[in-house]
Structure 1
Amino acid sequence: MPVNYNGIVYPAADAHAHIYPEKIAEKATASVGAFYNLKMENTGLPEVLLREGKRAGIDRFAVCSVATKVEQVRSINAFIGRACKEHPEFVGLAAWHQDIADIEGELDGIMGRGLKGIKLHPDFQEFQIDDPKLLPFYRAAHKRGLPILFHTGDIRKDFSSPRRLARLLDKLPDLICIAAHLGGYTEWDTARECLKGENLYVDASSSLGFISREEALKSIYHFGTDKVMFGTDFPMWRAGEELERFFSLGLSAEENRAVLYGNFARLYRLQRDG
């Protein structure tokens, strides 16, 4: 059932959700919670994501997981690929690691699994977004039409600074990417100062509960309502509560349609038009 708000029905997608295999889901979820000193709202299992999302009216989900070691990449991508086959509601984002040597071969495997993009978390993976050694990977991913979702921002660390993403986009302005957390978790002002681009999207995950309505609207209108996507950062937050925060912004019905589904559908080339 789609989201129904003030008598208007909206298709909705979650542009930022993490899932894990059952045997490690509780440990992985707890580890993320410890990193951010936050109480996790759910366990990162595919079935929990689907249950919680659909209860709130969300029926499409970009799903991902992060590789902190090179040897984890293929097993994670096999898991994400299987989850997408089992659940057509999912749009799979591949794991990657900065030390992969065979860039083209690994990307061949990602494409073969039908995955639609790549997720990077520079803070967990401990690399700088604008590290020159990653330029061949970024170019190769772009050539294959794979958007890159970056965790962006954290005042405790420098790896994922919005300024680093801005420097990367100065070099590769055609790179299609998503700066998570309205461009910079805990660095929302910096993100607005330095990030903008025709091919830059942002998601609103792990943001709306931390900033004022006025600041959220500043960010949304800075990046453009045609470039912002709703997201929950599951298993961190509950979909219903995040939707309440989103609707409290007071965007127009047309803007709601774009942020909740239309931009997601365009980015990932989904058939249904939001």
Structure 2
Amino acid sequence: MNSRAPAGSVLSREPWSGAPILDAHAHLGPYNRFFVADPSGEAMLRVMDRCGVSGAIVSSMLAVELDTEAGNAETAALCEAHPSRFAGYVVINPWQDPEAELERWSGHQSFVGVKLHPDLHEYPLDGLRYRPVWEFAERTGRPVLTHTWAGSQFDDLSHVDRVATDHPRARILAGHSGVAPSSFGRAIELARRHPGVLLELCGSHNHGRAIAEMVRAVGAAQVVFGSDFPFIDLRMSLGRVLFAELGPADREAVLGGTMAGVLAGGHSGAALLDRLEKDPAHWQP
């Protein structure tokens, strides 16, 4: 078996013809810390189509940075405009009434989970203000994607460890798996201790060897593809998984199967999830 089987089709510019690809970590809108040429949903769709990515789960940077209510409404509008391509994370800022924001959007069919960014909000992941999020996650089965950064006082992998210990029924996506290559071993040990923790792959320092090691260590059922698109080029993030030393079944699980299973467990994301279930190969627009 050639574990680099996708390489030939990628190099010859053939479209992806495997199982649907679902990006578990994408964003919408500009970011004040660096330039993004075109962070609109329409621009994202063009790149997704070219790469063969069936769907993406997005969170608004307006919600992350300034205004959760207005930013989450922005996410809802994109998902409503393209319900079979996008689903959303409700961004929760611990300083902007988490309970009210969860209540406002929890019944909206576009939202499939919660997005946290403790570093930007300068509040620890295991702090009391996030308790409504973890109670919501355990009650509904919906995943929580949290930013992680090795050594952070707000979202180091040790914070994820404590939350997973206190809330064992929560499905937690450890965004960036700690970011730094030196943290990947800790991320693996974290996932081994907590079956509800999934390692999400995006980040400028990740690479194919690390991805393959994560899958070997904890299994593809605890590793999910995310790109951080449009901040990190979707093509680069996707290429890391396509060219990693993975078997076909593991590659397809990481690229979308695992995350689709997480969403199904939370009974959410109806339009996007329905399309992923019905179309065994990449949907062509």
User: What TM-score, normalized to structure 2?
Assistant: 0.80
Task: Give the Cα separation in 2 of the matches to 1:179 and 1:120.
Answer: 10
Q: Does 1:149 align with 2:145?
A: yes
Q: CA shift at 1:111, angstroms?
A: 2.0
What is the number of equivalent residue pairs in this alignment?
Answer: 252
Q: How does 1:176-187 map to 2 (within 5 A)?
A: 176-181=171-176, 183-186=177-180, 187=183
Q: How does 1:116-135 map to 2 (within 5 A)?
A: 116-135=112-131
Q: CA shift at 1:101, angstroms?
A: 3.9
Q: How does 1:46-65 map to 2 (within 5 A)?
A: 46-65=41-60
Task: Give the Cα separation in 1 of the matches to 2:186 and 2:197.
Answer: 15
Task: Give the Cα separation in 2 of the matches to 1:211 and 1:77.
Answer: 29
Aligned to 1:37: none
- Name stretches of at least 5 consecutive residues in structure 2 with no aligned partner: 1-5, 10-15, 265-272, 281-285
Aligned to 2:17: 9
Deviations 1:218-271 (A, max 9, x none): 223333201211111011222222222212212111111111111121112223
Alignment root-mean-square deviation, CA: 2.4
Q: How does 1:68-83 map to 2 (within 5 A)?
A: 72-83=67-78
Task: Give the Cα separation in 2 of the matches to 1:62 and 1:237.
Answer: 15
The percentage of aligned residue pairs carrying the same residue is: 25
Contact 2:22 2:256 in 1 (8 A): yes
Q: CA shift at 1:42, angstroms?
A: 4.2
Which amino acid is the alignment partner of residue 12 of structure 1?
Answer: I
Q: Any idea what SS the aligned residue of 2:186 has?
A: helix
Contact 2:98 2:129 in 1 (8 A): no
Residue among 89, 95, 99 paired with 1:93: 89
Deviations 1:151-170 (A, max 9, x none): 11244x32110011001111
Q: CA shift at 1:102, angstroms?
A: 6.3
Deviations 1:48-77 (A, max 9, x none): 1111111111020011125357x7111111
Residue among 230, 238, 254 paired with 1:235: 230
Task: Give the Cα separation in 2 of the matches to 1:200 and 1:265.
Answer: 15
Q: Any idea what SS the aligned residue of 1:14 has?
A: strand
Say which structure, 1 or 2, has more relative contact order (CA 8 Å, 6+ apart): 2
Task: Give the Cα separation in 1 of the matches to 2:199 and 2:262.
Answer: 11
- Name stretches of at least 5 consecutive residues in structure 1 with no aligned partner: 34-39
